[in-house]
DNA sequence: CATGAATGAGCCTTCATTCAT
DNA sequence: AATGAATGAAGGCTCATTCAT
């Protein structure tokens, strides 16, 4: 017994998967429709056009990711604990929303994103930048540009996750803990 | 007196730039033709179709990158020196072939790559894997899956380079040295 | 207490207005439904499809117009009185059914009209032809093909009415009398 | 041996015929392509889109018609001679460009016409208005709004021509002379 | 009966690819 | 060999029509 607007969810889910796997340009509306088991025209009942669909998707997941990172953020604890919180956030978010983070990563600089999407993404970066800047002030994070450090964290984790998704390596607790440690070492200040 | 097949080179060069900047799907044959200053039909004298063109391009640069990494590889030196060699290779390659590494990174998992392209890319990964496996044996590299470590190195450097290309940060010597150090710390074994 | 099939009337009324203002092809079923304040599906309870709807509408108003012209037709009076009757009929009909005559005029040669619609329109022309043929016999109407004269009357009046509807000129008594006189002069026999 | 850009002409010719017969909205690009014996895509080599095509067509024929009316205009002669000149212009233009005048008449108030098209059409009306206003000043034309008189002339002639085109009546010299006389009587001042 | 969500045929348009020159 | 005009398959999108509620 499908809930009221299952179709909208189905469309978003199919679009997310396909955009993540093939990219926006290589994903056609008929592909999404087929995958979501709806007629092509139905997509236009829920989204004005293909660009509105990506932007909706993008904003939704960026916002959700940001909330995940912000939720119970341990501001009063040490930098390492904060890093752990962020890293766990990435993992949790990725586990809950399979293709979302990869989609965000591969589409965050795309020509079709509107102001709101860019703004939402910017807000996400702000959280990470703020964390890093604080850490740099306390000499606990390397004195590299925040964006470069974010790139390393993000890039590393996502390339890793791509491998996990492809089934090439397994996502054990130990592995994830190890990768967190690795990323932390990449980012932290070494005396 | 232009070399016999300057046109082929021109086409490849234009395709590289455009694929890197806009992506394969958003780049049209007429765009490439215009940029290369040849007729659209001419492209089909040198490449059977658009997919053959990307695959040719991809294989060419992946191979070149691999050769860059292999060239004068300091097998007889310490692990840190080897890492430095690899990292410098990335930088040198990127400096010599402006868009190539970014193109490789953004297209290495694409639906249109054929077996040979995937194979070539795999061969590239092998070099890095070999380096890491050796290091792990010697307890000088973290005991994480090589592919995960590669992902971190690759991902980090390339996300960084994206920022450099976008003009958001400057590619100073110090920055690159700092990033190398950061990546090394991500990868090396900590006692 | 609304009559049994108010909805059918509402639909026809909305369709008339929209077809007259935008034309058949540029008018969508949802537009008609919205204007008539019914669901889109409801239209299909009363009309098999869009073409049946136009044809119904066309036949209805052509028939009504014919009846208006025939009503109290002064067969026993002079040709000028008969002309006046016809001209007044056009005016009266147009006043009572705002968009109807314009709709008839702009759609009477359309590809989507069926045999019955064409027949009904033909019957309308017959009245005018009969009037003209009589007049020609009595040497009171020009010896031009009836259809040509009809075209002049019809064409002139309707182009005029278009201007009135567009608000470019005002529909004063004097103007209408003047136009009637003009049309009459176009049609009558000049010794 | 087709001239350099026969295709452009073919497309315009086919579009003119189809727009006149079915109207802009009911005419599809594939229809035009089939009629012009070109591929659908070819139309877009010559016209940016369907709207540009109609506007090009509209401006071309309105301009041509205006030139026909202006050519050797007998300003120095009497009002009746001027009327004759204009009427002959309509006939000549219609004979030379079969569907053009009907196309102009049925599309001159359409939503898809751009400023330039509207301007061109306005210029055409100016000629006729100027003729009528002069005549009214000299008490040789009825004191009805110029636009109403134009409507009568235009409307009458075109409805007539529609019949001729449909083969329902024949376009003999005598007929045309008679219709001209009829229109003139509709328009001229009767003392 | 009435509704409007859902559908898919078909439209406009783009672009990879062909081929006459 | 090189070109670019021509093509038509395919994509995004609209809307007449259906049908479950």
Lowest mean pLDDT among A46-50, B137-141, B146-150, D28-32: B146-150
Contact A108, A121 (CB under 8 A): yes
Grade residue C1 by pLDDT with cuts at 50, 70 and 90: very low
- Are the Cβ atoms of D156 and C187 closer than 8 angstroms? no
pLDDT tens profile D75-115: 999 999 999 999 999 999 999 998 999 999 999 989 999 99
Question: Which residues, 6+ apart, have CB-to-CB distance to C130 below 8 Å?
Answer: none
Contact A7, A36 (CB under 8 A): yes
With CA atoms as reference, the chain C residue closest to D174 would be: C144
Contact D54, D107 (CB under 8 A): yes
Instruction: Look over chain B and give the mean of its residue pLDDT values, rounded to a whole number.
Output: 91
| Better-scored residue on pLDDT, C50 or A145 | C50
Question: Which residues, 6+ apart, have CB-to-CB distance to A63 below 8 Å?
Answer: A120
Whole-number pLDDT of residue A166: 78
Structure tokens at B168: 């958001």
Structure tokens at B151: 């992902």
**CB proximity C25 to D under 8 Å:** yes
| Mean local confidence (pLDDT), C86-109 | 92
**CB proximity C126 to D under 8 Å:** no
Residue D168: DSSP 8-state: S
pLDDT tens profile C54-77: 999 999 999 999 999 999 999 999
Grade residue C90 by pLDDT with cuts at 50, 70 and 90: very high
How close is the nearest chain C Cα to the Cα of D1, in Å?
Answer: 36
Whole-number pLDDT of residue B1: 46
Statement: the CB of B35 is under 7 Å from strand E? no
**CB proximity A22 to B under 8 Å:** yes
Going by C-alpha positions, the residue among A68, A71, A122 that lies closest to residue A95 is: A68
| Mean local confidence (pLDDT), C103-126 | 95
Instruction: Tally Cβ neighbours within 10 Å of residue D143.
Output: 10
pLDDT tens profile A53-90: 999 999 999 999 999 999 999 999 999 999 999 999 99
Return d(Cα A38, Cα A53) in angstroms, integer. Answer: 15
Picking from B110, B142, B155, the nearest residue to A158 by CB comes out as B155
Picking from C22, C151, C169, the nearest residue to D145 by CB comes out as C169
pLDDT tens profile C20-47: 999 999 999 999 999 999 999 999 999 9
Going by C-alpha positions, the residue among D55, D69, D186, D80 that lies closest to residue C160 is: D186
Note the Cα C20 to chain centre separation in Å.
Answer: 11
Give residue D139's region: left, alpha or beta (phi > 0; psi -120 to 50): left
| Better-scored residue on pLDDT, D156 or C8 | C8
Whole-number pLDDT of residue D136: 95
Q: Calculate helix-pair angle for D173-187, D79-96, nearest 10 degrees.
A: 130
Contact B158, B151 (CB under 8 A): no
- Chain C interface mutation, best of D185, D188, D190, D191, highest count of C Cβ atoms under 10 Å: D185
Task: Return the closest nucleotide (C1') to the Cα of A48.
Answer: F13
What one-character-per-residue DSSP string does B13-43 give?
HHHHHHHHHH-STT--HHHHHHHHTS-HHHH
Maximum distance among all Cα pairs of chain B, rounded to whole angstroms? 61
| Better-scored residue on pLDDT, D31 or A150 | D31
Contact C129, C147 (CB under 8 A): yes
Contact D178, C144 (CB under 8 A): yes
Grade residue B3 by pLDDT with cuts at 50, 70 and 90: low
How close is the nearest chain C Cα to the Cα of D140, in Å?
Answer: 13
| Mean local confidence (pLDDT), B105-131 | 94
**CB proximity D22 to C under 8 Å:** yes
Local structure of D188: helix, strand or coil: strand
Q: CA end-to-end span of chain C, whole Å? A: 61
Grade residue A120 by pLDDT with cuts at 50, 70 and 90: very high
Whole-number pLDDT of residue C163: 79
Return d(Cα A159, Cα A175) in angstroms, integer. Answer: 14
Q: Is the pLDDT of residue D56 over 80?
A: yes
Question: Which residues, 6+ apart, have CB-to-CB distance to C27 below 8 Å?
Answer: C15, C18, C19
pTM for the structure as a whole:
0.91
Task: Return the closest nucleotide (C1') to the Cα of B30.
Answer: E15
**CB proximity D142 to C under 8 Å:** yes
Statement: the CB of C184 is under 7 Å from strand F? no
Whole-number pLDDT of residue D45: 96
Note the Cα C134 to chain centre separation in Å.
Answer: 23
């Amino acid at each position: 017994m499908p809930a009221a607007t299952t179709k909208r969810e189905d469309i978003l889910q199919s679009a997310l998967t396909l955009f993540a796997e093939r990219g926006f340009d290589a994903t056609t509306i008929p592909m999404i429709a087929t995958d979501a088991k709806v007629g092509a025209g139905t997509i236009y009942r829920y989204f004005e056009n293909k660009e509105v669909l990506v932007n909706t998707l993008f904003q939704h997941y960026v916002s959700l990711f940001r909330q995940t990172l912000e939720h119970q953020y341990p501001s009063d604890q040490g930098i390492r604990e904060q890093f752990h919180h962020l890293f766990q956030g990435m993992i949790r978010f990725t586990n809950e929303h399979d293709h979302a983070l990869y989609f965000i990563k591969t589409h965050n600089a795309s020509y079709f994103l509107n102001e709101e999407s860019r703004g939402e993404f910017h807000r996400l970066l702000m959280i990470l930048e703020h964390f890093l800047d604080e850490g740099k002030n306390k000499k606990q994070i390397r004195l590299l540009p925040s964006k470069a450090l974010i790139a390393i964290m993000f890039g590393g984790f996502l390339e890793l996750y791509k491998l996990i998704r492809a089934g090439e390596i397994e996502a054990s607790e130990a592995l994830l803990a190890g990768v967190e440690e690795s990323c932390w070492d990449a980012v932290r200040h070494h005396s």
